[in-house]
Amino acid sequence: MSALAQFDDDCGAGDSLHVFEAIAADLLKKGYSIKPNAVPIPLSGGLWQQLRSMPRHQLDLAGVGRQQAHTVNNFIRSDAISWIERDAAAGEDWLNWAAELQQYLNRRLFLGLFSFESHFSHYAPGDFYKKHLDAFKGQSNRVLSVVLYLNPDWMPDDGGELALYHSDQSHHGERSQSMLKVTPIMGTLVAFLSEEFPHEVLPAKRDRYAIAGWFRVNTTSTERADPPD
Ligand code: OGA
Ligand code: MN
């Protein structure tokens, strides 16, 4: 083992830098990244506990769209969410981790990520989120989506996969859509460009827990302060 690998094994920050670099390299090459064991185990464990100790009413039925446009639309999605603030230790650790990732990606890829928002989500058995984009070109300042899964002991036939669609450009020039499925197992992180990748959550046989988050760029102009709320 090299001295560097030895050092990284002893040092949590070193591990994070390896993960951040792997995510950056994937985003550059493919626009998305799927990383098992992306966050330190105490962090995913803490988030899992925070979620499980939450009173039921703290998880609100999710809506589609923001502010005035916010409507609870059970046809598109049926999960329940709770926004993550710095008022709980695990939530704060997660937001700090996301801030470090943001800083790394900005330095490495010049993405200009400016802020981050995220929520816990709970999908009861049978719940779903139909195929959607997290951002529409020119209409949103969400540029990078991340999802962290919080399900220990998830079995292959429990369902609940994230289906991520992407168009491939073959070397002959024709385009084709392909889909890959991500099992929502504890500690796996998915990151993808919000405007580029339609995706959907398939129904599961058991309760499915995750965090969904979005990095935004700042679109403040003289005409319009952002965010407006
Ligand atoms: C979302 C979303 C994916 C997942 O909340 O926008 O697409 O796997 N979540 O939970
Ligand atoms: Mn989404």
Give 124 Cα–ligand 1 centroid separation in angstroms: 14
Residue 220 pLDDT: 63
3-state secondary structure (DSSP) of residue 40: coil
Cβ-based neighbours of 107, under 8 Å, separated by 6 or more:
none
Q: Which of 84, 132, 165, 199 to mutate to test the pocket of ligand 1 (most atoms within 8 A of CB)?
A: 199
CATH number assigned to the domain with residue range 3-216, chosen from the 4 options 3.40.50.2300, 3.40.1080.10, 3.30.450.20, 2.60.120.620: 2.60.120.620
HEC letters along 60-120: EECCECCHHHCECCCCCECCEEEECCCCCHHHHHHHHHHHHHHHHHHHHHCCCCCEEEEEE
3-state secondary structure (DSSP) of residue 167: strand
Residue 77 pLDDT: 87
Per-domain boundaries in the chain: 3-216
Q: How far apart are CA 105 and CA 107, in angstroms?
A: 5
Tell how strand 208-216 and strand 162-169 pair up. Answer: unpaired
Give 147 Cα–ligand 2 centroid separation in angstroms: 9
User: Per-block average pLDDT, block size 10, for the chain (229 residues)?
Assistant: 45 78 97 97 96 83 58 76 93 98 97 95 94 86 96 95 86 78 97 96 96 90 53
Residue 177 pLDDT: 82
Residue 58 pLDDT: 82
Residue 101 pLDDT: 98
Residue located nearest, by CA, to atom 2 of ligand 1: 212
Dihedral sign for Cα atoms in the order 51, 55, 61, 67: negative
If 0-12 CB within 10 Å is exposed, 13-18 middle and 19+ buried, where does residue 77 land? buried
Q: Which of 201, 202, 209 to mutate to test the pocket of ligand 1 (most atoms within 8 A of CB)?
A: 201
What H or E segment, with its residue span, contains residue 36?
A: none
Residue located nearest, by CA, to atom 1 of ligand 1: 212
Ligand 1 shell residues, CB under 6 Å? 121, 129, 134, 147, 162, 199, 201, 210, 212
Helix, strand, coil % over all residues of the chain, rounded to 5: 30, 30, 40
- Are 102 and 137 in contact by the 8 Å Cβ rule? The answer is no
